[in-house]
Chain A
Amino acid sequence: EAGVTQFPSHSVIEKGQTVTLRCDPISGHDNLYWYRRVMGKEIKFLLHFVKESKQDESGMPNNRFLAERTGGTYSTLKVQPAELEDSGVYFCASSVTANTGELFFGEGSRLTVL
């Protein structure tokens, strides 16, 4: 069974540019989460999808970030325009149920904004 896959693994962009990160969850996992880890700090929650619906987007830092999950399968996270403070590792995770807290993570997408 394929795990959670994320693309790209690393992206380097200039301030003001746009980047789109993609996450393919484990097949059959209705719950999809985006997290971000900045400079060795906490892994901070961004948002949670249940199928195609945004269940909780309280962690999205501002309106430069847009997440979608059309059709309830893969998800994209777009940053437009990117700022220096957006640099970090963006993790995607999925789970069958949201009740247990047991998540399956991808390897992360490292974003560097210059």
Chain B
Amino acid sequence: GNSVTQMEGPVTLSEEAFLTINCTYTATGYPSLFWYVQYPGEGLQLLLKATKADDKGSNKGFEATYRKETTSFHLEKGSVQVSDSAVYFCALKGGSYIPTFGRGTSLIVHP
């Protein structure tokens, strides 16, 4: 079945540091890939998505590229801010109607 594997957290960075959160997936066919973010006290919200190989999703300075050859969708940001502190979830949607989520990676950004 479908599955998503994310790097263990927490990831702790200083403000303006470069961020990478790794995500790899297992799926049949050609899934769509997503990053969701959960800020403290809020629900998950869609951050970015990519629907086919080599697509790059981007939003709020975050980027992720759909790499079919490595089955990966790593999240990157060039310069993180304190306000980016949150839990980030990688997800995929294959042929079924049910999105599959990873375990989440907590990001803590210090001033």
Which residues on A are within 8 Å of B, measured CB to CB?
Answer: 3-4, 31, 33, 35, 37, 40-45, 48, 55-56, 91, 93, 98-108
Within 8 A of A (CB), among B26-80: 32, 34, 36, 38, 41-46, 49
Contact between chains at A105 and B45 (CB < 8 Å): yes
Which residues on B are within 8 Å of A, measured CB to CB?
Answer: 4, 32, 34, 36, 38, 41-46, 49, 89, 91-93, 96-104
Contact between chains at B34 and A102 (CB < 8 Å): yes
Sample of 17 more A-B contacts, CB < 8 Å, known A31-B97, A40-B104 = A35-B101, A42-B4, A42-B101, A43-B101, A55-B97, A56-B98, A91-B43, A93-B44, A99-B97, A100-B93, A101-B34, A101-B49, A101-B92, A103-B46, A103-B99, A104-B43, A105-B36
